[in-house]
Amino acid sequence: MNERNEPLIPKIGVITDVRIDTPDVKTFRVVTPDGKKAFEHKPGQCAMLSVPGVGEAMFSITSSPTNTEYMEFSIKKCGCVTDWLHRAEVGQQITIRGPYGRPFPVDSEFVGKDLLFIAGGIGLAPLRSVINYCRAYRDRYGRIDIVYGARSADDLVDYREIIEQWCEDEGVSVHLTIDREQEGWDGHVGFVPSYVKELGFTPDRTAILCGPPVMIKFTLQGLGEMGFEKSDVYTTMELRMKCGIGKCGRCNIGAKYVCKDGPVFRCDELDELPDEY
Amino acid sequence: MKRCPLSRLEDLFAALAESYKLYIPTDGEKGSSFTLWSEGAEISRRLNTARPPKDFFFPQSEDLMGFKTHGQTVELVDLRTEKEDFALFGVRACDAESLNILDRVFLSEPGDSYYASRREKGVIFTLACNKPAETCFCTAFGIDPSRPGGDVSCIECGEYLYLEPLTQKGEAALERLSAVTEDCDSAEAEPQREKIAKTVSRLPLADLSTEGFGEGKTDELFSDERWAELSRCCIGCGSCTFVCPTCQCYDIKDFKNGSGVVRYRCWDSCMYSDFTKMSAGQPRTDQTSRFRQRFMHKLVYFPENNDGVFGCVGCGRCVAKCPVSMNIVKVMRTLGGKKDE
């Protein structure tokens, strides 16, 4: 029905797998009714998913573009649409449109660089796409370090993939941490910002951050103290969106629209925006 | 240029109505509004309609699409209907310019096909403002109320209505009016334009200037402490947004109507507290920041993205309608102008 190529009109998507990641995060696999990927995307881009009758919301695409079969979305239960999705079962049809936004510069600025990924909680979801893309094209990038923290060991998203795949990769170092001591956890305990400082990375790396605002704030501060330039630090933003194409006005910050000018921003670009995000 | 005797205005409307659904401003209980013309309809002599013609292109509420759900399956339903060719007569210079501003939003890639199809179908006959009001300040934004834009620019002078086509669409429309119009010298309307210019120069807001606003002013204006004082009386009712010809923020919502789901779009306002609210918090938590957003958008952010064009046309509706008498003029007077140093 979309012969006029109207961007607001979505495609039908089918949930073909639901993985329980944490007590409040599930990862949904989505394809079109004929079993294909709904569209191609680049790491860091987002898609609008909707449950007709409930609403539409923007989610980062957590699967890598190198996955040719399906897309995945790691979704935390925190509102009407996400609540409904968490109750959905395999076979459920939803709608999907996209891709939206500016991706991470995986084929330009990141090439040849040592990469430092820093994520907190559900903040791993948008970075997983980049991490798996970089793992797929391993020889284009230097060292890869991943610092990932969550409230508890049960709140680490994609834990199995991290342990079984990322930790096994040559030239990829994974540093996990949880906020408080927990029985059965023999890894690091402490908040992400202080763990990053403890690990003492050299500032010649490109850092990619995503997590709750308080984590971002203190990690940025820490990276600054470690000598990182803001132009070498990237993050991805989240704001309320309705259209995804820079028209509905919700995600407007300064002269930028997060849905189309972001969600990925370099930290020196963020400094130019008015301080209200 | 063509002219039509004012005594034959009714015939001109009748001729237009043969080819288009014709809407003209008429007076009603709630002021003037664009209404479907029918024989004997009296054109409003008020300066402007209470609501801008925005509704014709970006309606307050419109159905975007429908869904039918059966068990786990979802089916999309096309709810769009082709609009007929229509003509708006009597659009003022400010409102005609507001459509150019909306075009920059809705027609920029990726274009909004709902808006685009209505723009294609609509032909705009503008009408010069012989009696601009004390709330008018279109000239601050470079608009000349004696030479309005649109597809056909009209002005009443003496015993005649003068019509000048500005677009191909306008020329095509004028060709259909050959029975009621005749060729004339464009100089004939000049005395009226001069009169308007004189009136405009004596208006209370004639000296309003955009100096101090525009591209590159974000840092300086955003951090200005006077936003708190300016916004103190704002009750966040959103009236300014709803009467504004250029405000275009919208919401998309789903409605279950018994036989399925309708996804509709409706106007929204950045002045509302839940506009940017997310489960994870929101960037603008107080009325001062929401108030600042609306004016910064019109006076700084929009020009920044649109070659310096401001997101206001000076129609004055917000000046007349704000229940607490706050408006863009006060913002411009307070924060703009030359900095006293």
Query: Residues B74, A94: contact at Cβ < 8 Å?
Result: yes
In a domain, B327, yes or no: yes
B187 and B259 housed in the same domain: no
Q: B115 and B33, same structural domain?
A: yes
Report domain extents, chain A.
Answer: 11-100, 115-236
B7, part of any domain: yes
SS3 of residue A72 by DSSP: strand
Q: How far is A251 from chain B (nearest CA, A)?
A: 7
Q: What is the pLDDT of residues B147-186, one digit of tens each?
A: 999 999 999 999 999 999 999 999 999 999 999 999 999 9
Residue A242 touches partner B, C-beta closer than 8 Å: yes
Note whether A90 and A44 are within 8 A (CB).
no
Summarize pLDDT for A179-224 with one digit per residue, the tens.
Answer: 999 999 999 999 999 999 999 999 999 999 999 989 999 999 999 9
Q: Using only C-alpha atoms, what is the Rg of chain B?
A: 22
Residues of A in contact with B77 (CB under 8 A): 1
Residues B187 and B245 in one domain: no
Whether the CB-CB separation of B154 and B127 falls below 8 Å is answered with yes
Residues 6+ apart with CB under 8 A from B157: B188, B189, B191, B192
Residues B74 and B118 in one domain: yes
Q: How many domains does chain B have?
A: 2
Domain spanning A115-236 has what CATH number?
Answer: 3.40.50.80
Whether residue B337 is predicted with pLDDT greater than 80 in this model: the reply is no
Q: Please, what CATH class does the domain formed by A11-100 belong to?
A: mainly beta
Is the pLDDT score of B141 beyond 80?
yes
pLDDT given at position B341? 43
pLDDT of residue A2: 63
B213 part of a folded domain: no
- Compute the distance between CA of residue B241 and CA of residue B317 in angstroms, rounded to an integer: 10
All residues of chain A having their beta carbon less than 8 Å from the beta carbon of residue B74 are 12, 52, 93-95
Is B153 in the same domain as B228?
no
| Structural domain includes residue B255 | yes
Tell me, yes or no, whether B208 lies in a domain.
no
Q: Is A94 on the interface with B (CB under 8 A)?
A: yes
B251 pLDDT exceeds 80? yes
Hey, are the CB atoms on A255 and B279 less than 8 Å from each other? Answer: no
Residues B26 and B108 in one domain: yes
Note whether A217 contacts B: Cβ–Cβ < 8 A.
Answer: no
Mean pLDDT of B238-260: 95
Same topology, domains A11-100 and A115-236? Answer is no
**Among residues B199, B239, B214, B221, which one has the least CA distance to residue B50?**
B239
- B252 and B191 both lie in a single domain: no
Per the structure, the complete domain to which residue B28 belongs is given by 2-201
* End position of a domain, from candidates B176, B201, B226: B201
Q: Mean pLDDT, chain B, as a whole number?
A: 94
Helix or strand run (H / E) with residue A81: helix A80-87
Q: Compare CB distances from B283 to A95, A212, A276 and report the shortest one's residue.
A: A276
Mean pLDDT of B211-228: 94
Nearest residue on chain B to A53, judged by CA atoms? B254
Domain assignment present for residue B209? The answer is no
Question: What pTM value is reported for the model?
Answer: 0.93
Contacting residues of A for B270, CB less than 8 Å apart: 249, 252
Q: How confident is the model at residue B281 (pLDDT cuts 50, 70, 90)?
A: confident
CA atoms within 13 A on the CB side of B212: 16
C-beta atoms of A247 and B248 within 8 A:
yes
Other C-beta atoms lying within 10 Å of the C-beta of residue B18: 9
- Cβ-Cβ contacts under 8 Å, A12 against chain B: 74-76
Q: What are phi and psi of A194, to 5 degrees?
A: -75, -35
Residue range B70-106, pLDDT digits in tens: 999 999 999 988 789 999 999 999 999 999 999 999 9
Q: What is the pLDDT of residue B338?
A: 57
Same domain, B11 and B157: yes
Q: Does B22 share its domain with B101? A: yes
B224 and B158 in one domain?
A: no
- Which residues between 100 and 119 in chain B have a beta carbon less than 8 angstroms from any beta carbon of chain A? 105-106, 108, 110, 112-114, 117
End-to-end CA distance of chain B: 51
Q: Residues 19..38 of A with a Cβ closer than 8 Å to B: which?
A: none
Q: What is the mean pLDDT of residues B262-270?
A: 96
pLDDT, tens digit (0-9, with 9 covering 90-100), for B299-318 = 999 999 999 999 999 999 99
In a domain? residue B319 = yes
Q: Give the residues of chain A that fall short of pLDDT 50.
A: none
| Residues in chain A, overall count | 277
pLDDT reported for residue B30? 87
Averaged pLDDT for residues B47-67: 96
A255 touches chain B (CB under 8 A): yes
Q: What are the tokens at B59?
A: 């309606």
- 3 state SS of B153: strand
- The verdict on a CB contact (< 8 Å) between B65 and A242 is no
Contact between A76 and A25 under an 8 Å Cβ cutoff? The reply is yes
Same domain for B126 and B237: no
**Same domain for B230 and B127:** no
Asked whether residue B196 carries a pLDDT value surpassing 60, the answer given is yes
- Name which of B110, B276, B296 is nearest A250 (Cβ-Cβ): B276
Interface test mutation site (partner B, options A32, A60, A242, max chain B beta carbons within 10 A): A242
User: Measuring CA to CA, how many Å separate B200 from each of B47, B190, B321?
Assistant: 13, 15, 21
